[in-house]
Structure 1
Amino acid sequence: MSPIIRAIDVGFGNTKYVVASNEGKVECAHFPSLAFHSAHEPTTNGLGGKRKTVAIPIDGNFYEVGPEVELAANPLRVRRQHDKYSETDEYRALTAGALHYMKVEAVDVLVLGLPVAHYIAKRALLEKSMTGAFDVGRKRQVQVKKVVVMAQPQGALFHFATKTGRIKEVMDSRSLVIDVGGRTFDWLVTLGTRPMPRQSDSVDRGVRVVCKAIAESISEDIGEQYTDLEAIDQALRTGKGLKVFQKPYDLKRFDKTIQNITEGAVDLMGEKLENSYAFDNVVLAGGGAYLYKKALKKRFPRLAIQEIPEPMYANVRGYQLFGEQYMREMMATQAASPGTGESRAQGDAVGAA
């Protein structure tokens, strides 16, 4: 039986996960990174109908997650966005929810990611805490046998190199990978695929900072609190506009607000970079890529910025492809030197990332 490799990218905005991978084609899905707590298992909505969610049991409590989680009857829609996010019950519930929707009984290698700023400090803890049996709801368990953690933009770089057929070229070059998420604006500088930590970092200047600033201005305009950040994000992303009190609300008036925030994030990155003229590849990924392209091109007008199709899935697709390479290398190492095994293969694979 072939080993099962899967990847999950638990972001502050959405949880992305791999449902299938075959000959380099990686199929993904996602749901909002919301986990609603309940002391009892929630099974239906307030009108008695079923919604596309699953209740994850953790320490005697339940966390409802899934594609229709926003239909849950819970007024306290709080996203726990802080530096210990990966250590929370909500994070585990989101991971378990993704495992549930994968419809697998066990995972031989699960690849996860962390923001650049937290990668070194939290990698070992996350690998340990996410290994083992997961209760994934509906009286099912999924056994995770091995966890490998990457810095989030590493996934985008690996995806870019693999899908463009430029693995050898990337291995011999210097790259800048920019990953715009819900909370964080991450960037990673690599020599080959090895990170250069001094020039890499994360700042809390992601899409939700933009959406919150706009929501505050709308609140002042309409005379009451406006909190639907998802609606603002959707309107900005699709260009279809926003409605407030059943009337179209022009978001063009916030172009300057968006410019100030996105350029501020890019400036913070620019201050840390050295010799930007030396980058061979500049890759832009993440669900918020659409908002930051203009600021990046303004700051680095002489650099060609490579955009990845479906940027929201760039990291998780890269995790998957890396996990498959990791498994191939581990199996080859074991075949060549029986008994030397997993630790050597993991060291080689993660080092290459």
Structure 2
Amino acid sequence: MTKSPVIAAIDAGCGFTKFSKLRPGQHADIEVFPSLTDIVFHDSRCSRLRAPRRNALIPFGTHLVEVGPDIEAALGDAVYHLQAEGFAATDDYRACVAGALAFIEEPFIDMLALTVPMRERDALAPQIRDWLSRPVRTAANASVTVARVEVVPQATASAIEWLDSPELDKTQVSLVLVAGFGSLDWALYRGRDLEPLAGGTEYHGAANLLRTVDDRIGQGAPSGDGRLDAIDQALRHGKPVRASGQLHDLQLHWPWIHGRARRMLGGIAQALTDLPTPQTVWLAGGGAAYFLQAAEGLFHRQAVHVAAEPMYACVRGMCLYGKRCLMADLDALRA
């Protein structure tokens, strides 16, 4: 019996790496780990000095790169910063992608879809395809072979769910905003066509807001970005957070967040001046909660929709995109 094809989707973002694998007819589970890395030299025993971790050790030349859900335990008390502009062109990005491939646990992948920022896609796609044209080492004695690679802009991947909506007709223009950790990806689409009328990337996202809140309550203490997840959770759930020896009510910062988010989206709104006016706005990305009020204010004449699970909209869209590409290939072979 022929084994069903494996479709994989990896969204290695500045804050978190999200990934999933799918076989036709099966449910696709999504997993996630921070986009942080730790270098472990071959002659180092540091990986054995701490409790076992659910991480992968990816071979990179003369050293290993540790990535995974327990990466913060590996980094310990180090002051570290999450990724920023240009991340998709770095070895850290490749390590996160290789780590996701290790956790997917498939030696052969028929279709792999990856996302990168809209602005970087044309430059990065050939480099990523060249890298993945050879088996990717995921452990000392393990590698993954990828038969086909598709590099998709974040906005396009996040738009697929919305563009499949029965509410849309072929003339409707939609603006897709992806509020990621390190960037704001955007694109304008007509109907269900995945070729954008216009698009781009602004390299400031939710991290820009969270860092400023952290600076305000930490009074300039060098905390790195390690506390940003705690700041994020406290803001979302209405809980105080401790910093500089006292509890801080972060709800007081929401008016500033909304104002700053509006200014951040203002540049995108300005770029749309000479373009077709969107009838709808689709908001996705892990930072969607911070930009929703700003989007509703700036685009008050349009209906603003938020993805059901904004952080995973990219991965779900890529799974669907990969499945369609693979099925089209199989149909062409049968013809």
**Normalization by structure 2: what TM-score?**
0.90
Aligned-pair RMSD on alpha carbons? 2.3
Q: 1:238 to 1:82 in 2, by over 3 A?
A: same
Q: How far did 1:298 drift?
A: 0.9
Q: 1:66 to 1:42 in 2, by over 3 A?
A: farther
Pairing partner for 1:115 from 114, 117, 127: 117
Structure 1 residue 152: deviation in Å? 0.6
Letter in 1 for 2:114: L
Question: Partner amino acid for 1:79?
Answer: L
Choose the corresponding residue for 1:224, options 218, 221, 242. 221
1:81 corresponds to 2:84:
yes
Which deviates further from its counterpart, 284-293 or 226-235?
Answer: 226-235
Moved more, 127-136 or 288-297: 127-136
Aligned counterpart, 1:49: 51
Matched with 2:144 is 142
Measure how far apart 1:165 and its partner are. Answer: 4.8
What is the one-letter code of the residue matched to 1:32?
A: P
**Higher helix proportion (structure 1 or 2):** 1
Measured against aligned partners, the alpha-carbon deviations of 1:185-215 in whole angstroms (never above 9, x if no partner) come to 1111112324345x42111220110011112
Which of residues 94, 101, 107 is equivalent to 1:105?
107
Deviation at 1:72, TM superposition (A): 0.7
Cα 1:20–1:246 shift into 2, 3 Å? farther
8 Å Cα contact 2:173-2:276 kept in structure 1: no
Shift of 1:113: 0.9
1:128 is displaced (CA, Å) by 2.1
**One-letter code aligned to 2:96:** L
Aligned position for 1:175: 174
One-letter amino acid matched to 2:136: F
Q: Is the 8 A contact 1:179 1:289 kept in 2?
A: yes
Question: Partners of 1:265 and 1:56 in 2: how far apart?
Answer: 37
Q: Aligned residue for 1:344?
A: none
By how many angstroms is 1:224 displaced? 3.2
Match of 1:346 in 2: none
Contact 2:218 2:243 in 1 (8 A): no
Aligned residue for 1:49, secondary structure, equals coil
1:71 paired to 2:77: no
State whether residues 217 and 244 of structure 2, in contact with CA within 8 Å, keep that contact through their aligned partners in structure 1: no
* Matches of 1:275 and 1:301, distance apart in 2: 18
Question: 1:130–1:320: structure 2 CA closer, same or farther, 3 Å change rule?
Answer: same
Shift of 1:238: 3.0
The answer to whether the 8 A contact 2:21-2:319 is kept is no
Give the superposition deviation at 1:42: 6.3
Alignment-derived partner of residue 341 in structure 1? none
Contact 1:205 1:261 in 2 (8 A): no
Provide structure 2 residue ranges, at least 5 long, that are not aligned to the other structure: none
CA–CA distance in 2 between the matches of 1:334 and 1:43?
51
Which stretch has the larger CA shift, 87-96 or 169-178?
169-178
Check whether the contact 1:43–1:55 (CA below 8 A) recurs between aligned residues. no
2:287 matches 1:288: yes
Q: Please say which of residues 274-283 and 260-269 is displaced more in the overlay.
A: 274-283
Of residues 126, 129, 134 in structure 1, which corresponds to 2:128?
126
Distance 1:286 1:315, change over 3 A: same
Query: 2:83, 2:247 → 1: CA distance?
Result: 31
Q: Which residue of 2 aligns with 1:195?
A: 195
Q: What's 1:297 paired with?
A: 296
In the alignment, is the contact (CA less than 8 A) between 1:45 and 1:73 conserved in 2?
Answer: no
Distance in 1 between residues matched to 2:142 and 2:263, nearest whole Å: 46
Structure 1, unmatched stretches of 5+, are: 337-353
Percent identical: 27
Runs of 4+, deviation exceeding 4 Å: 41-46
User: For this pair of structures, how many residues does the alignment match?
Assistant: 328
Residue type of the alignment partner of 2:303:
A
Cα offsets for 1:60-110 (capped at 9, x unmatched): 211111111101145252434232x22221111100111111121111110
Q: CA deviation at 1:258?
A: 1.0
SS of 1:77's partner is: coil
Give runs of aligned pairs for residues 149-160 of structure 1, distance below 5 A.
149-160=151-162
The superposition leaves residues 227-262 of structure 1 with CA deviations (integer Å, 9 ceiling, x where unpaired) of: 322221222233333222564311123224312320
Greater mean alpha carbon deviation, residues 243-252 or residues 294-303: 243-252
Contact 2:118/2:153 (8 A) holds in 1: yes
The answer as to whether partners of 1:108 and 1:145 remain within 8 angstroms in 2 is yes
Deviates more, 1:6-15 or 1:271-280: 271-280
The equivalent residue for 2:259 is: 260
How many Å apart are 1:183 and its aligned residue?
Answer: 0.5
TM-score by length of 1: 0.85
SS at match of 1:12: coil
Secondary structure at the aligned position of 2:152 is classed as strand
User: Aligned AA for 2:82?
Assistant: R
